[in-house]
Amino acid sequence: MLNFLFIIGLVTCEPNFVDFIKKFDKTYDNEELSYRFKVFEDNLGAIRSLNEEAIANGGEAVYGVTKFSDLTTEEFNGMYTGFVKSDIEVPEVSFINVTADDVDWREKQAITPIKNQGSCGSCWAFSAVESIESDAFLFGKYSLYELGPQQVVSCDKGSNGCNGGDPATAFKYVASNGMEKESDYPYTAKDGSCKFNAAKVAVKITGQGKVSGGEAGVLKGLQVRPLSVCHNTGGWQHYSGGVMTSCSSGGGHCTQMVGYASSGDYWIVKNSWGTSWGNSGYLYLKKGSNLCGIANHVLYPTF
């Protein structure tokens, strides 16, 4: 049972934490409750500072209370990110004869629904699998299947499952084995033993490519297909909507870039933290200064 006087204090002094507990269905024992309340208060201070910085830089307030507001930065990065760069050398490609323009692959029905990696550092697998889903539909003469990130988490030994990895190893693994659907290999948010069934392969790829040329190159590549991107996540823990105009280092993470809007000059990034985070699961990131290192590690599968 939670300490009655402590709860009364929360209701009286900090109703935001009570609202947070209710909204995100949080449960704590007595000892953890006081600790999480302190972390939550610290995060409120961080959120205020981030919004002040954004406004001072000519942007808007885009940070607020999220489902991660009871976690320290270290806890958050350890549980919900997971990019660990491999030593795989991926052939670089420049999209020279491509005209850069606005693009949103959601409008072309080439993007699957928002997923949730849970408290497992498997973002790298989700980023790769989501790019395979989209590109298989666009280039591989497949339907837009929802494929199984758990297969990559459990079976790709080039990365480390919930302890992090690189989409490059995922693409290499899938090129050798193929991919099952999510319905045949459901996600568990745990490492687990490999249970791959070759008879249930739904999609095959031949390899991978890497986009070069910084943000200009990324915009050209994005005209052709959605992209797997890995980057920093400074501030992402508290992102609640709008266009992010600054980003600190730390928290290597991988996502899927699905669009660009010239009105506002921002990237449209599909995340894997569920629909309750950000813009219904998406983040809008200002283009122009390689915020978060968004153009540093950009891959795609080949067919």
- Map out the domains of the chain with their CATH numbers: 4-60 (no CATH), 75-302 (3.90.70.10)
How many H-runs (helices) and E-runs (strands) does the chain carry? 8, 11
Which among 51, 77, 160, 271 is annotated as catalytic?
271
Q: Which of 123, 155, 247, 292 is catalytic?
A: 123
pTM: 0.94
Residue closest to 301 by CA, chosen among 110, 128, 84: 128
- Which pLDDT does position 61 carry in this prediction? 86
> What local confidence, expressed as pLDDT, does residue 245 receive?
94
For the chain of 303 residues, list the mean pLDDT of each consecutive stretch of 10: 44 71 94 95 96 90 96 96 97 88 97 98 98 97 97 98 98 98 98 98 98 96 97 96 91 97 97 97 97 98 97
Catalytic status, residue 238: no
User: Rg of the chain's alpha carbons, rounded to an integer?
Assistant: 20
Per the CB < 8 A criterion, the answer to whether 235 and 247 are in contact is yes
- Check 253, 254, 292, 297 and give the catalytic one: 253
